[in-house]
Amino acid sequence: MLIVSILLAGVMMPLSLQMEVRRYADTKRSMDQINEALIGFVLAKGRLPCPADPAIADGVANAGVERAACAAAGTNVGVIPWVTLGVPETDEWGGRFTYRVTALFADATNTTAGCTLPATRINAVFALCDSGDMNVKSRTTTDAYALTNSTPPAPPAVFISHGKNGYGAYRSQGGAPSSMPAANTDESTNASLSSVNKTIFSREKIDATSPCSDTPGSAALCEFDDVVAWIPLTTLMNRMVIAGKLP
């Protein structure tokens, strides 16, 4: 029995690893689908969609439907409006995709400082001179895990799968998101997106280690399994110009 158990363990370990690799691959495919749906939406509507309310349970009225507006404080952060876009509700671990959009790309309510909008904007709520307000950061092992800015210029929209551990993810039953260890500041930052909190971390997957720290110079970074994607500003503007939506 002992020998059989050892042999079974040797078989099951690679199988479980294969399953996780497949879940990551399937989640990334879903996020590619979301990316294309967001681009398609903005080409059709002249704006990015507002987030869906993350606290509404699946099957309840307005679940997965974009908010009517997202210029008010906090309303530009939520989850991907999966019903509006016709995309999957959750990643492969059952967590909804967190979504933050720069409000001016979804509501024609304000502009980037110094950006003069044309007198008429029939095809888009934003202009070529507008910019996003988010900063996607990473860490580099060549500089004691120092922070690096990875997305100049700032993207107008970001969406996140919170991975296998699900820290910060909303679920189909709605309610509050999953909690996380206090030391995990990078994933905590991703889970704390708001109108004010505009920083997102995107770095390589790291399994849980103890002790760990997400501060520059630490010997071991904390667990990180978020999958982060964003709409590059240049890509969005180029697609809008090619489609005749801008300038």
Alpha-carbon span 154 to 233, nearest angstrom: 7
The predicted pLDDT at position 52 comes to 96
Cα distance between the two ends of the chain: 72
Which span out of 86-90, 128-132, 145-149, 211-215 was modeled with the highest average pLDDT? 86-90
pLDDT mean over 134-159: 69
* Percentage of residues in the chain having pLDDT higher than 90: 43
Give per-residue pLDDT as tens, 16-26. 667 888 999 99
Q: What is the mean pLDDT of residues 52-65?
A: 94
Whole-angstrom distance, CA of residue 117 vs CA of residue 23: 43
**What pLDDT, on a 0 to 100 scale, did the predictor assign at position 106?**
92
pLDDT bucket at 143, cuts 50 / 70 / 90: very low
* Domain parsing of the chain, residue ranges: 2-242
The pLDDT, as a whole number, for residue 117 is: 66
pLDDT higher than threshold 90 for residue 227: yes
Inter-residue contact 106 to 77 (CB < 8 Å): no
Give the pLDDT mean for 203-207.
85
* Contact yes or no for 156/233 (Cβ under 8 A): yes
Predicted pLDDT at 145: 43
The per-residue pLDDT for 125 is 86
pLDDT of 153: 81
Q: What local confidence, expressed as pLDDT, does residue 175 receive?
A: 75
Asked if pLDDT for residue 39 goes beyond 90, the answer is: yes
The predicted pLDDT at position 10 comes to 52
Task: For 90-119, write each residue's pLDDT tens digit.
Answer: 999 999 999 999 998 998 666 666 676 666
Specify the pTM.
Answer: 0.86
User: Cβ(116)–Cβ(234) under 8 Å?
Assistant: no
Is a pLDDT exceeding 70 seen at residue 241? yes
Instruction: Encode pLDDT of 206-219 as tens digits.
Output: 887 777 877 766 67
Whether 147 shows a pLDDT value over 50: the answer reads: no
Angle between helix axes 2-45 and 233-242 (nearest 10 degrees) is 50
More confident residue, 172 or 118: 172
Distance CA 113, CA 171 (A): 37
Question: In this predicted structure, what is the pLDDT of residue 144?
Answer: 39
Higher pLDDT, residue 149 or 133: 133
Please report the DSSP string for the chain in residue order: -HHHHHHHHHHHHHHHHHHHHHHHHHHHHHHHHHHHHHHHHHHHHSSPPPPBPTTSPTTSTTTTPBPS---STTTTEEE--HHHHT--SB-TTSBB-EEEE-GGGTSTT---TT----S--SS-SS-TT-----EEEEEEGGGTTEEEE--SSPPSEEEEE-TTT-TT--BTT-SSPPP--TT-HHHHHHHT--SS--EEE----B---SS---STT-SSPPPB--EEEEE-HHHHHHHHHHTT---
- Provide the percentage of residues in the chain whose pLDDT is more than 70: 79
